[in-house]
Amino acid sequence: MAIQKKLAHYEKAIKHLSRAIERSPGFVQAYIRRGDVYRKMNKFDLAIADHTQATRLTRRPHEAYCGRGLVYEAKGQIDEAIKDFTTAIHRSRSYDWDYPEAYYHRGNAYVTKGEVDLAIEDYNAAIKLNPDYTNAYIKRGITYASVGEIDIAIEDYNNAIRRNRQLADAYYHRGNAYSLKGEVDFAIANYGKAIELNPNDTYAYRKLGDVYFLQGDFESAIANYNTAIKLSPNDAHAYHFRGFVYFLQGNFDMALADYAKALELKPDYVQVYYTRARTWLYQKEWEKAKEDLTFAQKKGLNIFALFRKAYGSVANFEQVNNVELPEEIVELLAKQDGQSQTLPETKSLLQGPSRMGYSEDIATMLRKQDGSTQAYLHG
């Protein structure tokens, strides 16, 4: 219903803007605004045509170039987007003015390309031109966090919040940063504030679920994953990790149902195959476990390292759980990428599904995901 309502709003806007253009074919802003609406409707060719026409109708086309750059970015043509953002910057300079929005959007495009230094330079420029540019502070913070500069990131989020204390995104990302630092209470407080400001932020509920999961507070984790799924029924991440919490509680059927839903929503979600394989192992479903482990390994997941983080070694798993794994599964879990099958024993944090308080392999996957730039760029 919400999508249909939004679409109807866009169509109404297109109708009004088209009438304005018919009455005044040189109406530059009407072309730019209509191009923006077409972009939001994913009608990219029409959007490009409108922004291109706008560049021809004015001697100050920086806004039109910037708008077209956003269309190219939405299409995944990042180099073309950067060219247009750069042209917008140069054209604005030609009349002794700099365009902070073009720097900001070019910074976002550089992030997509993984060119972090260039992105930070552009965010710096946008903030220098507009010291109250809160989105630039947030995105610069996200970029710093993605390369491990967590304290610098937090200061950027602080700067955004000082300028506008109603920015749910700033609290959300500051929560992410505190989570990466292991400062759980601050993380929870920031996610809570983000939810207070935006009760429909499925990501904040999901992240609260992750924090509680890592703390071993499984009931709170499930409650927050439930809310995330209610708000966003296609959230594969929430299904995956809720499933793993069910596994830790010994609720294997519920875990498997959540894993199946996560894979239905995201068939290439390779980590789910590994976590589901762990469930199969406890149920002694050897063929199913082997199939999932083999698939995860072929897709590049280092199941050897993950299993070692959880159990120390295959021998330790077998001893703790009083089970003997089939030889083909032992080969998958104890020898990979040239590693020796004989591993030094490590202290296992797990005793079995009904007594698990923590799971280092899954926590590793979660932190790796959280530390990526794309994990931060939501909404």
Please say if the pLDDT value at position 295 is more than 80: yes
Structural domain contains residue 280: no
pLDDT confidence tier of residue 342, bands split at 50, 70 and 90: very low
Structural domain contains residue 82: yes
Domain that holds residue 101: 1-131
* pLDDT digit string, tens, across residues 191-227: 999 999 999 999 999 999 999 999 999 999 999 999 9
* pLDDT digit string, tens, across residues 360-376: 666 666 665 554 444 44
Report the C-alpha gap between 221 and 358 in whole angstroms: 13
CA dihedral 352, 354, 358, 359 (to 10 degrees): 50
Q: Which two tokens stand for residue 94?
A: 């030609």
Structural domain contains residue 262: no
Report the C-alpha gap between 292 and 311 in whole angstroms: 18
Structural domain contains residue 293: no
Number of domains in the chain: 1
Helix axes 62-75, 44-57, angle to 10 degrees: 160
CATH number of the structural domain spanning residue 80:
1.25.40.10
Cα R_g (the chain), whole angstroms: 25
Interacting residues of 353 by C-beta distance below 8 A, sequence separation 6+: 247, 248, 249, 250, 252, 282
Report the C-alpha gap between 139 and 319 in whole angstroms: 48
Nearest CA among 12, 2, 68 for reference residue 39: 68
Nearest CA among 336, 326, 245 for reference residue 288: 326
CA dihedral 174, 175, 179, 182 (to 10 degrees): 80
Report the C-alpha gap between 160 and 166 in whole angstroms: 10
Q: Which stretch of 108-117, 143-152, 306-315 has the lowest confidence by average pLDDT?
A: 306-315
Can you tell me whether residue 356 is helix, strand or coil? coil
Residues 217 and 187 sit within 8 Å (Cβ to Cβ): no
Structural domain contains residue 43: yes
Structural domain contains residue 148: no
Please say if the pLDDT value at position 354 is more than 60: no
Report the C-alpha gap between 136 and 107 in whole angstroms: 9
Which whole number is the average pLDDT over 274-300? 96
Which whole number is the average pLDDT over 2-11? 88
Residues 150 and 180 sit within 8 Å (Cβ to Cβ): yes
pLDDT confidence tier of residue 310, bands split at 50, 70 and 90: confident
Structural domain contains residue 60: yes
State residue 373's pLDDT score. 42
Structural domain contains residue 283: no
State residue 372's pLDDT score. 44
* pLDDT digit string, tens, across residues 87-138: 999 998 776 578 999 999 999 999 999 999 999 999 999 999 999 999 999 9
